[in-house]
Structure 1
Amino acid sequence: MSSPIARVVMSLAERLAPPAHASWSAAMRAEFEALGGGPGSTKWALGCLVSATGWRARAEAGWVAASMLGCASAYFLNAQIFFVVVDWAQANSTVWFNTMQAVQAALLFALCFALVAVWPRRAWLIGGVVPMVWLMGWPLAAFVQNLRDSLNDPLLMLDVEPAMPFIAFPFWWLAQQTWAGVLGAIFGWSLWRVTRGRAARLPATSL
Structure 2
Amino acid sequence: MKTISKYLLITMLVTGILSMHAQQTNSVTAGNGISYTINGNANPPFTFQRGVTYVFLLSGTVSFHPFWIKSTLGGFFSGGAGAFDTGVINNGATSGSVIFTVPQSAPNTLFYQCGIHDGMHGTLDIIDPPTPAPTVKIVFINVADFITIRSTGTNGWTAFPEFMCGADGTNWTAVTGFTNNLVTGTNTTTFPRLEPICGTTNVLVRIRNEKQP
Per the normalisation by structure 1, the TM-score is 0.24
Q: Which structure has greater helix proportion?
A: 1
Q: Which structure has greater strand proportion?
A: 2
Task: Flag the structure with more relative contact order, 1 or 2, with Cα contacts below 8 A and sequence separation at least 6.
Answer: 2
